[in-house]
Chain A
Amino acid sequence: MIESEEAQEIVFDALRTLNGELPEGEKVEVGPGLTLFGVDSPIDSLALVSLIVDIEAAVSERLGHEVVLTDDRAMSRDVVPFSNVQTLTDYVVELSKEQH
Protein backbone atom coordinates (compact mmCIF):
# COMPACT_ATOMS: atom_id res chain seq x y z
CA MET A 1 0.00 0.00 0.00
CA ILE A 2 1.13 3.55 -0.65
CA GLU A 3 0.78 6.07 2.18
CA SER A 4 -0.05 9.71 1.59
CA GLU A 5 3.48 11.01 2.04
CA GLU A 6 4.90 8.52 -0.47
CA ALA A 7 2.08 9.21 -2.95
CA GLN A 8 2.77 12.92 -2.76
CA GLU A 9 6.46 12.30 -3.37
CA ILE A 10 5.57 10.24 -6.48
CA VAL A 11 3.53 13.18 -7.79
CA PHE A 12 6.31 15.65 -6.92
CA ASP A 13 8.90 13.46 -8.67
CA ALA A 14 6.75 13.41 -11.81
CA LEU A 15 6.44 17.20 -11.65
CA ARG A 16 10.23 17.53 -11.30
CA THR A 17 10.66 15.29 -14.35
CA LEU A 18 8.17 17.47 -16.19
CA ASN A 19 10.14 20.57 -15.25
CA GLY A 20 13.19 18.90 -16.79
CA GLU A 21 11.28 18.65 -20.06
CA LEU A 22 9.86 22.17 -20.02
CA PRO A 23 11.74 25.20 -21.34
CA GLU A 24 12.69 28.05 -19.00
CA GLY A 25 9.69 30.23 -18.30
CA GLU A 26 7.24 27.32 -18.46
CA LYS A 27 8.46 25.34 -15.45
CA VAL A 28 5.88 24.84 -12.70
CA GLU A 29 6.22 25.41 -8.98
CA VAL A 30 6.15 21.99 -7.34
CA GLY A 31 3.83 21.98 -4.34
CA PRO A 32 0.63 20.46 -2.92
CA GLY A 33 -1.59 23.32 -4.11
CA LEU A 34 -0.58 23.18 -7.76
CA THR A 35 -3.65 23.10 -10.06
CA LEU A 36 -3.20 20.42 -12.69
CA PHE A 37 -5.89 21.25 -15.21
CA GLY A 38 -8.35 23.97 -16.07
CA VAL A 39 -8.04 27.68 -16.81
CA ASP A 40 -6.05 28.32 -13.63
CA SER A 41 -3.48 25.61 -14.31
CA PRO A 42 -0.02 26.44 -15.64
CA ILE A 43 0.06 22.93 -17.14
CA ASP A 44 -0.97 22.41 -20.75
CA SER A 45 -2.49 19.18 -22.05
CA LEU A 46 0.85 17.87 -23.33
CA ALA A 47 2.38 18.35 -19.91
CA LEU A 48 -0.64 16.79 -18.17
CA VAL A 49 -0.29 13.63 -20.26
CA SER A 50 3.43 13.53 -19.51
CA LEU A 51 2.60 13.77 -15.82
CA ILE A 52 -0.03 11.02 -15.99
CA VAL A 53 2.36 8.69 -17.84
CA ASP A 54 5.13 9.16 -15.27
CA ILE A 55 2.84 8.74 -12.26
CA GLU A 56 1.18 5.63 -13.73
CA ALA A 57 4.64 4.13 -14.34
CA ALA A 58 5.87 4.93 -10.83
CA VAL A 59 2.73 3.64 -9.08
CA SER A 60 2.64 0.51 -11.26
CA GLU A 61 6.29 -0.23 -10.45
CA ARG A 62 5.70 0.36 -6.75
CA LEU A 63 2.61 -1.89 -6.61
CA GLY A 64 3.94 -4.54 -8.97
CA HIS A 65 1.07 -4.37 -11.45
CA GLU A 66 -0.32 -2.00 -14.02
CA VAL A 67 -2.28 0.95 -12.68
CA VAL A 68 -4.39 3.23 -14.89
CA LEU A 69 -5.18 6.67 -13.57
CA THR A 70 -7.45 7.81 -16.38
CA ASP A 71 -10.14 5.18 -16.46
CA ASP A 72 -13.84 5.97 -16.68
CA ARG A 73 -14.24 5.68 -12.93
CA ALA A 74 -11.66 8.39 -12.29
CA MET A 75 -13.33 10.71 -14.74
CA SER A 76 -16.83 10.21 -13.35
CA ARG A 77 -16.01 11.07 -9.73
CA ASP A 78 -17.45 14.16 -8.08
CA VAL A 79 -13.94 15.54 -7.65
CA VAL A 80 -11.76 14.67 -10.63
CA PRO A 81 -8.41 13.26 -9.38
CA PHE A 82 -6.47 15.60 -11.66
CA SER A 83 -7.85 18.79 -10.15
CA ASN A 84 -4.68 19.48 -8.18
CA VAL A 85 -1.71 17.76 -6.56
CA GLN A 86 -3.65 16.98 -3.37
CA THR A 87 -6.60 15.31 -5.13
CA LEU A 88 -4.20 13.29 -7.29
CA THR A 89 -2.20 12.25 -4.23
CA ASP A 90 -5.41 11.15 -2.49
CA TYR A 91 -6.45 9.16 -5.56
CA VAL A 92 -3.11 7.33 -5.72
CA VAL A 93 -3.52 6.37 -2.04
CA GLU A 94 -7.09 5.23 -2.65
CA LEU A 95 -6.10 3.09 -5.66
CA SER A 96 -3.28 1.47 -3.75
CA LYS A 97 -5.60 0.65 -0.82
CA GLU A 98 -8.10 -1.03 -3.13
CA GLN A 99 -5.42 -3.11 -4.78
CA HIS A 100 -3.62 -3.98 -1.55
Chain B
Amino acid sequence: MNDALIEPCRRVQPGQFVRLRPIRLGDAELTLGWRMSRRAALLNAGAQSVGEQANWISRRPVGELNYIIETTAEGVSVGTLSLVEIDLAGRGAEPARFLIGEEERCRGLPAAVEALKLLYGVAFDQLGLLSLSGCLAQDNRRMLKWHKYMGMEEVGLLERRAYINGREQGLIGLRLSRADYTEVTLPRMNRLIALATRGPNANKES
Protein backbone atom coordinates (compact mmCIF):
# COMPACT_ATOMS: atom_id res chain seq x y z
CA MET B 1 0.00 0.00 0.00
CA ASN B 2 1.37 3.40 -1.00
CA ASP B 3 1.31 5.31 2.31
CA ALA B 4 2.03 8.69 0.72
CA LEU B 5 -1.06 8.33 -1.43
CA ILE B 6 -3.45 6.84 1.07
CA GLU B 7 -2.51 8.65 4.29
CA PRO B 8 -4.16 11.97 3.27
CA CYS B 9 -7.34 9.96 2.72
CA ARG B 10 -7.29 8.94 6.40
CA ARG B 11 -7.94 12.58 7.35
CA VAL B 12 -11.29 14.36 7.51
CA GLN B 13 -12.81 14.89 4.07
CA PRO B 14 -14.72 18.18 4.27
CA GLY B 15 -17.97 18.92 2.45
CA GLN B 16 -20.67 21.57 2.51
CA PHE B 17 -23.36 19.73 4.46
CA VAL B 18 -21.47 16.68 5.70
CA ARG B 19 -17.88 15.55 6.11
CA LEU B 20 -16.27 12.14 6.30
CA ARG B 21 -14.05 11.48 9.30
CA PRO B 22 -12.17 8.26 10.00
CA ILE B 23 -14.00 5.81 12.24
CA ARG B 24 -12.57 5.34 15.74
CA LEU B 25 -13.01 2.89 18.59
CA GLY B 26 -15.37 5.27 20.38
CA ASP B 27 -17.84 4.86 17.52
CA ALA B 28 -18.42 1.19 18.38
CA GLU B 29 -21.68 1.60 20.32
CA LEU B 30 -23.21 4.10 17.91
CA THR B 31 -22.31 2.17 14.78
CA LEU B 32 -23.45 -1.12 16.31
CA GLY B 33 -26.84 0.47 16.95
CA TRP B 34 -27.06 1.55 13.31
CA ARG B 35 -25.94 -1.84 12.04
CA MET B 36 -28.60 -3.61 14.10
CA SER B 37 -31.40 -1.26 13.03
CA ARG B 38 -34.08 -2.06 10.49
CA ARG B 39 -32.43 0.31 7.99
CA ALA B 40 -29.39 -1.98 7.88
CA ALA B 41 -31.38 -5.15 7.25
CA LEU B 42 -30.14 -5.38 3.67
CA LEU B 43 -26.45 -5.11 4.57
CA ASN B 44 -24.26 -8.07 5.50
CA ALA B 45 -24.61 -9.19 9.11
CA GLY B 46 -21.99 -7.79 11.46
CA ALA B 47 -20.99 -7.65 15.13
CA GLN B 48 -23.56 -8.50 17.79
CA SER B 49 -22.08 -6.63 20.77
CA VAL B 50 -20.22 -3.38 21.44
CA GLY B 51 -17.11 -5.42 22.22
CA GLU B 52 -17.32 -7.27 18.92
CA GLN B 53 -17.90 -4.01 17.07
CA ALA B 54 -14.91 -2.34 18.79
CA ASN B 55 -12.83 -5.38 17.91
CA TRP B 56 -13.99 -5.15 14.31
CA ILE B 57 -13.08 -1.45 14.13
CA SER B 58 -9.63 -2.10 15.60
CA ARG B 59 -8.91 -4.81 13.04
CA ARG B 60 -9.63 -2.83 9.86
CA PRO B 61 -6.89 -3.60 7.33
CA VAL B 62 -4.69 -0.89 5.80
CA GLY B 63 -6.40 -1.39 2.46
CA GLU B 64 -9.65 0.05 3.78
CA LEU B 65 -10.87 3.57 4.48
CA ASN B 66 -13.72 3.53 6.98
CA TYR B 67 -15.53 6.78 7.62
CA ILE B 68 -18.23 8.21 9.82
CA ILE B 69 -20.53 10.68 8.06
CA GLU B 70 -20.88 13.82 10.21
CA THR B 71 -23.01 16.92 9.68
CA THR B 72 -20.84 20.00 9.27
CA ALA B 73 -23.15 22.35 11.16
CA GLU B 74 -23.56 20.36 14.36
CA GLY B 75 -20.84 17.73 14.08
CA VAL B 76 -23.40 14.97 14.61
CA SER B 77 -22.49 11.47 13.46
CA VAL B 78 -25.22 10.27 11.12
CA GLY B 79 -23.89 7.28 9.20
CA THR B 80 -21.07 5.18 7.83
CA LEU B 81 -19.34 4.81 4.48
CA SER B 82 -16.24 2.88 3.49
CA LEU B 83 -13.89 2.28 0.62
CA VAL B 84 -12.62 -1.29 0.77
CA GLU B 85 -10.57 -3.68 -1.35
CA ILE B 86 -8.40 -0.73 -2.40
CA ASP B 87 -6.02 -1.92 -5.09
CA LEU B 88 -3.64 0.88 -6.04
CA ALA B 89 -1.80 -1.31 -8.55
CA GLY B 90 -4.99 -2.42 -10.28
CA ARG B 91 -6.50 1.02 -9.61
CA GLY B 92 -9.82 -0.21 -8.30
CA ALA B 93 -11.79 -0.40 -5.05
CA GLU B 94 -15.24 -1.08 -3.64
CA PRO B 95 -17.56 1.39 -1.89
CA ALA B 96 -19.17 -0.37 1.07
CA ARG B 97 -21.05 -0.06 4.39
CA PHE B 98 -23.12 2.85 3.11
CA LEU B 99 -25.64 3.49 5.85
CA ILE B 100 -27.48 6.56 7.09
CA GLY B 101 -28.24 5.61 10.67
CA GLU B 102 -29.72 8.92 11.85
CA GLU B 103 -32.28 9.69 9.19
CA GLU B 104 -34.11 12.29 11.29
CA ARG B 105 -30.91 14.32 11.74
CA CYS B 106 -30.44 14.31 7.96
CA ARG B 107 -33.93 15.47 7.04
CA GLY B 108 -33.65 18.10 4.33
CA LEU B 109 -29.89 17.60 3.98
CA PRO B 110 -28.29 15.88 0.99
CA ALA B 111 -26.26 13.80 3.44
CA ALA B 112 -26.22 10.56 1.47
CA VAL B 113 -25.45 12.26 -1.85
CA GLU B 114 -22.67 14.43 -0.51
CA ALA B 115 -21.12 11.62 1.54
CA LEU B 116 -20.92 9.46 -1.56
CA LYS B 117 -19.55 12.38 -3.57
CA LEU B 118 -16.79 12.82 -1.00
CA LEU B 119 -15.99 9.10 -1.10
CA TYR B 120 -15.87 9.08 -4.90
CA GLY B 121 -13.59 12.12 -4.71
CA VAL B 122 -11.24 10.12 -2.49
CA ALA B 123 -11.34 7.18 -4.89
CA PHE B 124 -11.04 8.90 -8.24
CA ASP B 125 -9.42 12.26 -7.51
CA GLN B 126 -7.11 11.50 -4.57
CA LEU B 127 -6.23 7.85 -5.18
CA GLY B 128 -6.45 8.09 -8.96
CA LEU B 129 -8.52 4.92 -9.30
CA LEU B 130 -9.98 3.97 -12.66
CA SER B 131 -13.10 2.13 -11.51
CA LEU B 132 -15.18 1.15 -8.52
CA SER B 133 -17.14 -2.06 -8.24
CA GLY B 134 -19.45 -3.53 -5.68
CA CYS B 135 -22.59 -5.53 -5.12
CA LEU B 136 -26.01 -5.21 -3.56
CA ALA B 137 -28.54 -7.72 -2.28
CA GLN B 138 -31.32 -8.31 -4.80
CA ASP B 139 -33.90 -7.00 -2.32
CA ASN B 140 -32.11 -3.68 -1.99
CA ARG B 141 -34.08 -2.15 -4.86
CA ARG B 142 -34.01 1.46 -3.71
CA MET B 143 -30.23 1.42 -3.31
CA LEU B 144 -29.88 -0.28 -6.71
CA LYS B 145 -31.96 2.48 -8.35
CA TRP B 146 -29.92 5.06 -6.48
CA HIS B 147 -26.54 3.75 -7.63
CA LYS B 148 -27.70 3.32 -11.23
CA TYR B 149 -29.07 6.86 -11.27
CA MET B 150 -25.71 7.99 -9.91
CA GLY B 151 -23.95 6.46 -12.89
CA MET B 152 -23.17 2.90 -11.87
CA GLU B 153 -23.62 0.17 -14.45
CA GLU B 154 -25.39 -3.05 -13.48
CA VAL B 155 -23.10 -5.90 -14.54
CA GLY B 156 -25.40 -8.79 -13.63
CA LEU B 157 -25.86 -11.37 -10.92
CA LEU B 158 -22.71 -12.56 -9.20
CA GLU B 159 -22.04 -16.28 -8.85
CA ARG B 160 -21.92 -16.10 -5.07
CA ARG B 161 -25.01 -15.54 -2.97
CA ALA B 162 -25.38 -14.26 0.58
CA TYR B 163 -27.68 -14.77 3.55
CA ILE B 164 -29.12 -11.30 4.12
CA ASN B 165 -32.31 -10.15 5.86
CA GLY B 166 -33.33 -13.66 6.81
CA ARG B 167 -32.91 -15.39 3.49
CA GLU B 168 -30.37 -16.36 0.86
CA GLN B 169 -30.22 -13.71 -1.84
CA GLY B 170 -28.56 -13.13 -5.17
CA LEU B 171 -26.03 -10.33 -5.34
CA ILE B 172 -26.20 -7.77 -8.13
CA GLY B 173 -22.82 -6.56 -9.38
CA LEU B 174 -22.28 -2.86 -10.08
CA ARG B 175 -19.42 -0.92 -11.63
CA LEU B 176 -18.56 2.76 -12.00
CA SER B 177 -15.89 3.86 -14.45
CA ARG B 178 -13.86 7.01 -14.08
CA ALA B 179 -15.45 8.37 -17.28
CA ASP B 180 -19.00 7.84 -15.99
CA TYR B 181 -18.01 9.34 -12.64
CA THR B 182 -16.98 12.53 -14.45
CA GLU B 183 -19.72 12.68 -17.04
CA VAL B 184 -22.75 11.27 -15.22
CA THR B 185 -22.19 10.93 -11.50
CA LEU B 186 -20.70 14.29 -10.57
CA PRO B 187 -23.22 16.44 -12.48
CA ARG B 188 -26.15 14.50 -10.98
CA MET B 189 -24.72 14.67 -7.48
CA ASN B 190 -24.05 18.38 -7.82
CA ARG B 191 -27.63 19.00 -8.95
CA LEU B 192 -29.08 17.08 -6.02
CA ILE B 193 -26.82 18.93 -3.59
CA ALA B 194 -27.84 22.22 -5.23
CA LEU B 195 -31.46 21.22 -4.71
CA ALA B 196 -30.87 21.23 -0.97
CA THR B 197 -29.52 24.76 -1.11
CA ARG B 198 -32.86 25.82 -2.59
CA GLY B 199 -34.96 24.16 0.08
CA PRO B 200 -36.59 25.63 3.17
CA ASN B 201 -33.48 24.86 5.22
CA ALA B 202 -31.12 26.41 2.70
CA ASN B 203 -29.24 28.42 5.30
CA LYS B 204 -29.29 25.81 8.03
CA GLU B 205 -25.86 24.38 7.22
CA SER B 206 -24.09 27.48 5.96
- Name the A residues within 8 Å of B113 (CB-CB): 45
Instruction: Identify which of A23, A37, A45, A52 contacts B112 (C-beta below 8 A).
Output: A45
Given the known inter-chain contacts A37-B199, A38-B201, A39-B108, please indicate yes or no for A47 contacting B192, CB distance below 8 A. Answer: no
- Chain A residue at minimum C-beta to C-beta distance from B197: A75
B-to-A contact residues, CB < 8 Å: 38, 100, 103, 106-108, 110-113, 141-143, 145-146, 148-150, 188, 191-192, 194-196, 198-201, 204
- Chain A residue at minimum C-beta to C-beta distance from B107: A39
- Chain B residue at minimum C-beta to C-beta distance from A82: B195
* Pairs A-B, 5 closest by C-beta atoms: A39-B108, A38-B199, A38-B200, A39-B201, A38-B108
Contact, CB under 8 Å: A46 / B143: yes
Supply 11 further A-B pairs (C-beta < 8 A) apart from A38-B199, A39-B201: A22-B142, A37-B195, A39-B107, A39-B108, A41-B108, A44-B106, A46-B112, A46-B143, A49-B150, A70-B188, A71-B191
Instruction: Identify which of A39, A47, A75 contacts B200 (C-beta below 8 A).
Output: A39
Interface size of A by CB at 8 A reads: 24
Instruction: Identify which of B110, B111, B146, B188 contacts A50 (C-beta below 8 A).
Output: B146
- Chain B residue at minimum C-beta to C-beta distance from A83: B199
Instruction: Identify which of B112, B198, B199 contacts A39 (C-beta below 8 A).
Output: B199
**A40 CB to nearest B CB, Å:** 7
Q: Could you pull out 30 A-B pairs where Cβ atoms are within 8 angstroms?
A: A21-B142, A22-B142, A23-B38, A38-B108, A38-B199, A38-B201, A39-B201, A40-B200, A41-B107, A41-B108, A44-B103, A44-B112, A45-B106, A45-B112, A45-B192, A46-B100, A46-B146, A47-B142, A48-B192, A49-B146, A53-B145, A53-B149, A54-B145, A70-B188, A70-B191, A70-B195, A71-B191, A75-B191, A80-B198, A82-B195
